[in-house]
Amino acid sequence: MIGKDIDLVVKLLKEGQLVGIPTETVYGLAGNALDENALTQIFKVKNRPTFDPLIVHTNSFEKVHDFVLDMPKKAHVLAKHFWGGALTLLLPKKNIIPDLVTSGSPLVAIRIPNHALTLEVLSRLDFPLAAPSANPFGYISPTTAQHVEAQLGDKIAYILDGGSCQLGLESTIVGFEQEQAIIYRKGGISIEAIEQVIGKVEVKAHSSSNPQAPGMLKSHYAPRIPLILGEIGKLIQEYAEQKIGILSFKKYFDGVPTNQQLILSEKGDFGEAAKNLFSAMRTLDQMDIEVILADLLPEQDLGRAINDRLRRAAAKS
């Protein structure tokens, strides 16, 4: 069921049940991060392997110190600057965080999100929430309560409706080696924005062999229908025999009905494109088409994270 009953959400979470929650990035499938039963349920409902760890969500800087042993200086600076927001930090965990949350890693992924309803829920709980994106493992992340309902509605108690997600891309994951900051997943906060605050960072978001953030395995974010990346104009010729859908950054193309073309941002705005991306992929995935043709954005700012999701979607094809 979808609704705005915060009292009910708090009650369900205290009972150890799972709830779909809005964040500014994507919707999460939330449960008590300190309760092994709730955690087991999260993996089950998502059909997610337990070697893929979960992000812990809390609502205040003070509480973070209950869960982590210490914070490198740059982590502290980033947290002060970007929380609540689309930044997840990998930090050494205290024993109170179950190994199931981190898949046995000594590091816990933690963030303070930025969504009024979810912050209200967190402020009324005496435990943090583990929340992966609220989609079945390997599918596109949900950016509305209706997306969650469509795929997990029969498996969870309640979905808290917080409207459509403001950012539309998952959080950026940052870890540390000594004092060097490393980006493990490109996301809603751009590398440029992070570098403005702490200087040059290293990006390791591409290693797919033994990823530190296994959610970044290539086949993630994938629609069911094959997605082909390239110059859409040329691809239209190449795939002329098939029923084509188009996922384009800025413009419509000739030769394909416009109702089978989804434009991320006609004015070429990265933020607008990010907000529309997953929803557009879902819409195309439900159309009567055989192939999705898509083009990449300029490799800068949020364009990098959007391109990352497009490449992963294409990798399944």
Annotate each residue in 104-143 with x if it binds ligand TXA (CB under 6 A) or - if it does not, as one string. Answer: -x-xxx---x-----------------xxx----------
Residues within window 206-235 making contact with ligand TXA, judged by CB under 6 A: 212-216
- The CA-atom distances, in angstroms, between 251 and each of 91, 223, 265, 270, 310 are 42, 22, 8, 14, 17
| Closest by CA position to 97, among listed 120, 130, 71, 119 | 130
- Of 26 and 121, which has the nearer Cβ to ligand TXA? 26
- Euclidean distance between CA atoms 283 and 95, whole angstroms: 43
Which pair of structure tokens corresponds to residue 73?
Answer: 């200086």
Q: How many CB atoms lie within 10 A of CB 263?
A: 17
Residue 172 site contact among ligand TXA, Mg ion, none (CB < 5 to 8 Å, cut-off depends on kind): none
Contact status: 172 vs Mg ion (CB under 5 A): no
The footprint of Mg ion on residues 57-96 (CB under 5 A) is none
- The residue among 92 and 136 lying less far from Mg ion, judged by its C-beta, is 136
Q: Which is nearer to ligand TXA, 141 or 248 (CB)?
A: 141
By C-alpha distance, which of 121, 130, 126, 115 is closest to 83?
A: 115
DSSP type of residue 212 = S
Which part of the chain contacts ligand TXA (CB under 6 A), choosing from 99-107, 153-161, 191-199, 279-287? 99-107
CA distances from 287 to 15, 230, 283 (A): 39, 21, 7
Report CA-CA distances (Å) from 90 to 82, 100, 224, 313.
15, 15, 31, 25
Contact predicate 50/103, CB 8 Å: yes
Residue nearest to Mg ion (CB): 133
Decide whether 133 or 279 has the Cβ nearer to Mg ion: 133
User: To the nearest whole angstrom, how small is the minimum distance from the Cβ of residue 11 to ligand TXA?
Assistant: 21
Site track 18-57 with ligand TXA (rule: CB under 6 A), x = hit: -----x-xx-x-----------------------xxxx--
Q: Which stretch binds Mg ion (CB under 5 A): 2-10, 128-136, 198-206, 252-260?
A: 128-136
Residue indicated by tokens 């490393």: 182
Size of the site for Mg ion (CB under 5 A): 1
CB within 8 Å of 75: residues ≥ 6 apart: 89, 91, 174, 176, 181
* Strand partners of residue 68: 93
Is 133 an interacting residue with respect to Mg ion (CB under 5 A)? yes
CB of 1 to ligand TXA, least distance (A): 20
Judged by the rule CB under 6 A, the positions of this chain that interact with ligand TXA are: 23, 25-26, 28, 52-55, 86, 88, 90, 102, 105, 107-109, 113, 131-133, 170-171, 173, 185, 212-216
